[in-house]
């Protein structure tokens, strides 16, 4: 019995046709882009309670505007941001895409905000 390993010439090896997946061959859709597009702005339990407690209401258009600006800030390297719009101030972790807390502008006027490295001003 012959225990040697023999190499099969390349022309005799099985060759399968290369299939192309249209989703993976689109160079404009890389994993990072798809992941960023799927991330929506989340509201922490604490922030949700503060929004209700302080009667702060934001419509869908305002939330979308905040989401867009938070995404833009994240691309510029901001990890924790203060978002100021109309009569509302939100502390947002852009790293986690999460609203951490919310307050009206009267409450925020005499406060010092620490551990933020960016501010987003939205004139709505």
Instruction: Give dist(CA 53, CA 100) in Å, integer.
Output: 15
pLDDT value, residue 13 = 55
pLDDT value, residue 17 = 58
Residue 24 in any domain: the answer is no
Closest CA to 84 of 61, 107, 55, 50: 107
Decide if 101 contacts 72 (C-beta within 8 A): no
Q: How far is CA 8 from the centre of its chain?
A: 51
Number of domains in the chain: 1
Q: Kindly tell me if the per-residue pLDDT of 24 is higher than 60.
A: no
pLDDT value, residue 110 = 85
pLDDT value, residue 64 = 93
pLDDT value, residue 67 = 94
Decide if 99 contacts 43 (C-beta within 8 A): yes
Higher pLDDT, 24 or 105: 105
Residue 16 in any domain: the answer is no
Residue 32 in any domain: the answer is no
Higher pLDDT, 34 or 75: 75
Residue 84 in any domain: the answer is yes
Decide if 90 contacts 50 (C-beta within 8 A): no
Mean pLDDT of 96-101: 94
Residue 23 in any domain: the answer is no
Q: Kindly tell me if the per-residue pLDDT of 82 is higher than 60.
A: yes
Mean pLDDT of the chain: 82
Q: Kindly tell me if the per-residue pLDDT of 59 is higher than 80.
A: yes
Domain range for 85: 41-122
Residue 107 in any domain: the answer is yes
Residue 80 in any domain: the answer is yes
Residue 31 in any domain: the answer is no
């Amino acid at each position: 019995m012959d225990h040697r390993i023999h190499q099969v010439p390349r022309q005799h090896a099985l060759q399968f046709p290369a299939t192309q997946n249209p989703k993976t061959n689109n160079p404009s859709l890389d994993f990072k882009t798809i992941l960023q597009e799927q991330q929506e702005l989340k509201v922490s339990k604490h922030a949700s309670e503060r929004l209700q407690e302080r009667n702060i209401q934001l419509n869908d258009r305002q939330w979308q505007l905040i989401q867009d600006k938070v995404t833009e800030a994240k691309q510029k390297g901001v990890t924790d941001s203060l978002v100021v719009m109309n009569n509302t101030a939100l502390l947002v972790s852009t790293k986690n895409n999460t609203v951490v807390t919310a307050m009206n502008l009267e409450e925020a006027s005499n406060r010092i905000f620490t551990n933020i490295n960016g501010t987003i001003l939205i004139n709505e």
